[in-house]
Structure 1
Amino acid sequence: MDIFGIKALLICALIFIPFEHLFAERPQKILRDGFAVDVIYLLFNSFIVKAAVVLMAAGVLGLAAMLVPQSITQAVGGQPVWLQVAEIILITDLGVYWAHRAFHKIPALWKFHAIHHGIKELDWLGAFHSHPVDIIVTKAISLMPVFFLGFSEASIAIFSIIYFWHTMLVHSNIRISFGPLKWLIASPQFHRWHHANQREAYDKNFAGQLPFLDVMFGTYNATGDKVPEKYGVDDPVPSTYFGQVGYPLQPRRQRSNPTASSTEAEG
């Protein structure tokens, strides 16, 4: 069994690397700074997160069997699969939105999330550059309602595939226009302006898949075709994998980052 997702890594590389070369948003080397570290993130996070999700699902399903009437789980799981997938996308992205926003607003959580924002050159592989605590907490918040309500295994599996590929797409260095669908489906342009280390991008575009959530909650950043000047954070994030994993546990230092800057500006 490919518990570390090596086959998935190779398939993703064979698809995204050529597209990023042909339709690049900005000039960038394939083996950019931090490429090797991101490969480690993909391999190890894949194993850690899978294990955490399996344990969480088992616990939630057991609890749901005791608390949720069978009529509800049967009704939810009995819907057409396409409708279940649409509902799962909405439910999970609401969870992602608020969890993501909390990781920006709460200083203790920001230290975990700063790892993801430390990427200075975005590409498909950067989608996996996240602290395990960041990923597990976000998945717990977003997926628990899905397991609790009794959505079918088939619908969850299809959602997982969609989410996996879409996450890589929004982080990719691909110039692509979604046209009028940009309000409905998150695009690389939408997510680049979440990663931009520029004041107008601070605390904007939190949704993972559904940009209209940011429109609803007042955090949407409309940028047209404008390209961010730079990515990354001002935090002193280490460059190595183990340094980054341990970074949130280090004593708090005086720091300058998007969350702090925007909070001060609002105050």
Structure 2
Amino acid sequence: MDIFGIKALLICALIFIPFEHLFAERPQKIFRKGFAVDLIYLLFNGFIIKLAIAMIAAGALGAAAFLVPQSITQAVSGQPVWLQVAEIIVITDIGVYWAHRAFHKIPALWKFHAVHHGIEELDWLGAFHNHPVDAIVTKAISLTPVFFLGFSEASIAIFFIIYLGHTLLVHSNVRIPFGPLKWLIASPQFHRWHHANQREAYDKNFAGQLPFLDMLFGTYNVTGDKVPEKYGVDDPIPSTYFGQIGYPLLRRRKLSNRAVPSTEA
């Protein structure tokens, strides 16, 4: 059993490294700053998050057995798989949106999420650069309703494949126009403006897959074809894996501007 996701890593690398070379948004080395640390995130966080998802699923399924009528779970799992997958995408991304927004707005949570925003050179591997607390809380909020309602194993498996591929894509260093689909499907351009360390990008574009959620809740950042000047945060994020894991627990003299509630309308 490939518990550390070595096979998945190799497949993703074979797809995205040439992809980023052919359609690069900006010149960037494959072994860019923080590459080794992100490999550690992929291997060890991946294992931890898999365990967390298994526990989330067990808890939700156990609760559903007592609280959700069997007729409902059977109706949900009896739908066509394609429809279940579409419903899962909507349900999970609503959870991702609000969890993500909370991690930006609440200073104590921002300490964990700042680790992800500390990436200064975006590429596909940066998608794995998440503090375990950030990743697990977001997974718990977004996935619990899916397991609770009884979606089929096949539809959940297909969703995970789509989610992984799309998450890597939006973090990748590629410039691909999405045209009218940019309102429906999150693009690299949409997400890189979430990562931009510029005032107009703060607290914008929270959705993971569905940009219309940001449009609906007033957090969409219209950027056209502009490229961010820089990524990262002003927070003093350590450069090592264990330094970043312990970073949220350290006392800080100054809050990041991102964690200070905006006074703008």
- Return the alpha-carbon distance in structure 2 between the equivalents of residues 42 and 90 of structure 1: 26
- Measure the CA separation in 1 of the matches of 2:249 and 2:259: 19
Query: Does the 8 Å CA contact 1:172/1:188 hold for their aligned counterparts?
Result: yes
Distance, in Å, in 2 between the alignment partners of 1:11 and 1:153 is 23
Matches for 1:161-176 after TM superposition, within 5 Å: 161-176=161-176
Q: Tell me what 2:36 maps to.
A: 36
Determine the structure 2 residue equivalent to 1:231: 231
**2: CA distance, partners of 1:107 / 1:193:** 21
Instruction: Report deviation, 1:56.
Output: 1.2
Q: What residue number does 1:257 align with?
A: 257
Aligned partner letter, 2:23 = F
Identity %: 84
Counterpart of 1:188 in structure 2: which amino acid? P
Secondary structure of the corresponding residue to residue 236 of structure 2:
coil
- Does the 8 Å contact 2:124/2:169 carry over to 1? yes
Q: CA deviation at 1:264?
A: 4.6
1:113-132 paired onto structure 2 within 5 Å: 113-132=113-132
Decide whether the 8 Å contact of 1:235 with 1:257 is kept in 2: no
Using the TM superposition, give the Cα deviation of residue 78 of structure 1 relative to its aligned residue in structure 2, in angstroms: 0.3
Contact 2:107 2:255 in 1 (8 A): no
Measure, in 1, the Cα distance between the counterparts of 2:168 and 2:21. Answer: 15
Distance in 2 (alpha carbons) for counterparts of 1:101 and 1:161? 24
**Matched pairs, number:** 265
Report SS of the residue matched to 2:74: helix
- Residues 251/259 of structure 1: CA separation in 2 closer, same or farther (3 Å cut): closer
Superposition TM-score, scaled by structure 1 size: 0.98
Q: Which amino acid aligns with 2:200?
A: E
The separation in 2 between residues aligned to 1:104 and 1:186, in whole angstroms, is 19
Aligned to 2:91: 91
What's the RMSD between the two structures over aligned residues? 0.9
Which amino acid is 1:68 matched to? V
AA matched with 1:163: Y
**How many angstroms does 1:258 deviate by?**
2.2
Provide the rounded CA distance (Å) in 2 between the counterparts of 1:35 and 1:71: 49
| Cα deviation digits, residues 121-176 of structure 1 (max 9, x gap) | 00000000000000000000000000000000000000000000000000000110
Aligned counterparts of 1:214 and 1:221: Cα–Cα separation in 2: 8
Matched letter for residue 14 of structure 2:
L
3-state secondary structure, aligned to 2:66:
helix
For 1:195, give the aligned amino acid.
H
Structure 2: runs of 5+ lacking an equivalent: none
* Separation of aligned partners in 1, 2:96 and 2:103: 10
User: Where in structure 2 are the equivalents of 1:91-240 lying within 5 Å?
Assistant: 91-240=91-240
Q: What is the CA distance between 1:266 and its match in structure 2?
A: 3.0
The TM-score normalised by the length of structure 2 is 0.98
Distance 1:15 1:75 in 2: 37
Unmatched segments (≥5 aa) in structure 1: none
Q: For the Cα contact (< 8 Å) 1:195–1:201, is it kept in 2? A: yes
AA at the equivalent of 1:62: G
Q: Runs of 4+ in structure 1 displaced over 6 angstroms?
A: none
CA contact (8 A) 2:26 2:173 kept: yes
**2:46 alignment counterpart:** 46
Secondary structure of 2:120's aligned partner: coil
Q: Distance in 2 between matches of 1:13 and 1:149?
A: 35
Deviation track 1:173-232 (CA, whole Å, cap 9, x = no partner) reads 011011000000000000000000001100000000000000000000010110000000
Mean Cα displacement is larger for which, 89-98 or 251-260?
251-260
